[in-house]
A and B are shown apart, each in its own frame.
Chain A
Amino acid sequence: MISLYRPGDSALHRLPAGPKLLIVMALALALSLAPADPWLLAPAVAGVAGAYLLAGLGPRDLGQEAWRLRWIVLVLAVGQIFFLPWQTVAANAGRVVVVILLANLVTLTTRTERLVDAIERALTPLRRLGVNPGRVALMLSMTITTIPVIAGYATQIREAQRARGVPLAPLAFVVPLLIMTLKHADDLADALTARGVD
């Protein structure tokens, strides 16, 4: 779900990370508070699509980003369909998709480094409460680095099981994944130490 930076020179790329984050957060908040009305959603969808085009990302990218959200949409929709009219369910799901697409737009047009810097700066006032903004920023960066690695491990395990014709058992999947992840964390800690982080 975390899309990495795509180099570019659009207005969105040039907008500093801090203001960009603030604008997107404000829009996301507004969307979440607005009534779940499909007709209100239409302009939001058009707006997001426009923003992607403005960032130099074509309909294909937008489609790809949206397609990656299919499971979230499914889970959301199934959870609500028995209790709410379908128009409301669709509007709710659409709202979540729009918010996530907006958030993705930030990561697509901002170097992770700048984003993390902006978050670090935003956290600086919390220093007095014992928060170490540098640490938080490093953890965020490392999380972004690690997610695709762990996803790769998951694929490896699934393929190994398929190759041996093992039916997909949750435990036989989670246990090796956990072991690989812990081993990875251990090795990464050594690498951090070796590179001078204490």
Chain B
Amino acid sequence: MRTIELSAVTVEFPARVALHDVSVHLDQRRIAVIGANGSGKSTFARTLNGLVTPTAGQVRVHGLDPVRQAKQLRRRVGFVFSNPDTQIIMPTVAEDAAFSLRGRGLSRAEIRERVGAALARVGLVEYADAPAHTLSGGEKQLLALTAVLIGEPSLVVADEPTAYLDAANSRRIARFLLDEMPQQLVLATHDLRLAARCDIALRFEDGRLIDLGDPASVIAKYEVDQA
């Protein structure tokens, strides 16, 4: 039951068409989304959790409509943005992680336990009470990821999650997303090495889905076209 399905999805902004008649059926664990700047990667990613509403067509993510069933969907779909600074809602590390668990009827003790375990998994437990803004960029992104995973989603959508990070932190985040977590992943990225580690790759150009399939061959064609 981890199917992502778009049928004839178009997203129009006042000045341009960001997604043009996209239809696709995906059930792989790791799904890469590649393409040049402005090709529609983010728009595609954002339709999956209802941050963007399609002008036409239908989206189904794990059986849910991201716009009409937004509340249920956002419990099952976690979203990691590029900028580590704009994802932190609460003042301290532990509070920010705990924020994802509010409204679930958990006791304070349960929340504390789950937050502690989740922070330990990414090596942030010693910063639990630290103001979140004192973390490094890489640590903030790990916190963002923790805040997503603690909600136990079934799908993680990550929009260029390593764009702001140095090589070491990028590797850390990528290892987590690609190798360690069990959830389905949609990864929009400029880093073709990350795309190559996925199970399928989608390539966008000017809002159209122009290629999909085995990442190695999709990437090879993309590189030829770019040259």
Contact = CB atoms under 8 A, between A and B. Distances in A.
A191 interface: yes
B110 to A, nearest CB: 15
A145 interface: yes
Contacts of A198: 70-71
B131 A195 contact: no
Interface in B132-157: 132-133, 147
B183 interface: no
A145 B96 CA distance: 10
B129 interface: yes
Given A4-B92, A4-B131, A195-B147, A187 B51 contact: no
Nearest to B100: A195
Interface in B77-125: 78-79, 81, 83, 85-92, 95-96, 98-100, 103
B142 to A, nearest CB: 16
Q: Is the interface of B mostly helix, strand, loop or mixed?
A: mixed
Most buried by B among A7, A141, A152, A195: A195
B133 A148 contact: yes
A168 interface: no
B91 A191 contact: no
Nearest to A112: B91
Contacts of A187: 81, 83, 86
Interface residues of B, number: 30
Nearest to B86: A187
Interface string B20-33: 00000000000000
Given A5-B129, A187-B81, A195 B89 contact: yes
A194 interface: yes
Contact of A7 (B50, B100, B129): B129
A149 B85 contact: yes
Interface of A: 4-5, 7, 111-113, 141-142, 144-145, 148-149, 152, 184, 187-188, 190-196, 198
Given A4-B131, A188-B86, A193-B51, 9 more contacts: A5-B92, A5-B129, A113-B98, A191-B88, A193-B50, A193-B74, A194-B79, A195-B99, A198-B71
12 contacts: A7-B129, A141-B89, A145-B89, A152-B133, A191-B86, A192-B89, A193-B50, A195-B74, A195-B100, A195-B147, A196-B100, A198-B71
